[in-house]
Amino acid sequence: MTKVPSFETARLLLKPVTLGDLPGYQKYFVDYEVIRHLSDAVPWPYPDDGVRFFLENVILPVQGKDRWVWGIFMKTNPDELIGCVDLWREGRPENRGFWLGRPFWGQGLITEAVEPTIDYAFSHLGFEKLIFSNALGNTRSRRVKEKTGARLIGTRPAKFVDPGLSEAETWELQKEDWDRLKADQNKNFKPPR
């Protein structure tokens, strides 16, 4: 078991999720527009005590062991969780999930949030590649993969909370592709004068 580290990005703080984060988790996660894109293993209608049950029984017992779950917080409001990035060792086939509260969509926040977690997976957790997945039609989630250098490797039948979604896209991010993307970004970075 390792301690899950916290990260700081330009606009965000990422902190290991705790039971203290229940209010924000409940407020932003229990929203059909967020949940409908997730695997049909997630119940809908969502039970009243579902978030507490999930944190207490599914996440916290393995946090830092073979699962690493970060709450996402705006630096301007550092006590309210607005989303999560979730990494796990055993591919199903994917190794990651994420969600963000609806009021925060479309500002590049998830793309910003996943960056330090990908770095951590490759540099500290020993991953050589990461597999990601999204429902075919979840264009926002797809863009996050494209923007972070992942390659589409296939589609497969899958079930989601929204019964209208019936296929999943599978993506692969190799460590060497991530390293190359980061090196290119650093090359193009011009410090402010």
Residues that bind ligand COA (CB under 6 A): 34, 37-38, 98-100, 105-111, 134, 138-141, 143-144, 147
Q: How far is the CB of 113 from ligand COA (least distance, A)?
A: 8
Least spacing, CB of residue 109 vs ligand COA, in Å: 4
Q: Which is nearer to ligand COA, 4 or 109 (CB)?
A: 109
**Can you tell me the distance from the alpha carbon of 7 to that of 83, in angstroms, rounded to the nearest whole number?**
14
Per DSSP, 45 falls in state S
CB of 2 to ligand COA, least distance (A): 25
Backbone angles phi, psi at 20, to 5 degrees: -65, -15
* Residues 59 and 2 sit within 8 Å (Cβ to Cβ): no
- To which H or E segment does residue 178 belong? helix 175-188
**Contact yes or no for 134/37 (Cβ under 8 A):** yes
**Minimum distance of ligand COA from residue 165's CB (angstroms):** 10
Which lies closer to ligand COA via its Cβ, residue 109 or residue 121? 109
Beta carbons within 10 angstroms of residue 66's beta carbon: 12
Instruction: Using the minimum distance from each CB to ligand COA, give the nearer residue, 99 or 122.
Output: 99
Burial of 106 (0-12, 13-18, 19+ CB in 10 A): exposed
Name the minimum Å distance from CB 143 to ligand COA: 4
Please, which residue, 124 or 153, has the CB nearer to ligand COA?
A: 153
Report the distance separating Cα 5 and Cα 28, nearest Å: 23
Give the residue with the Cβ less far from ligand COA, 126 or 139. 139
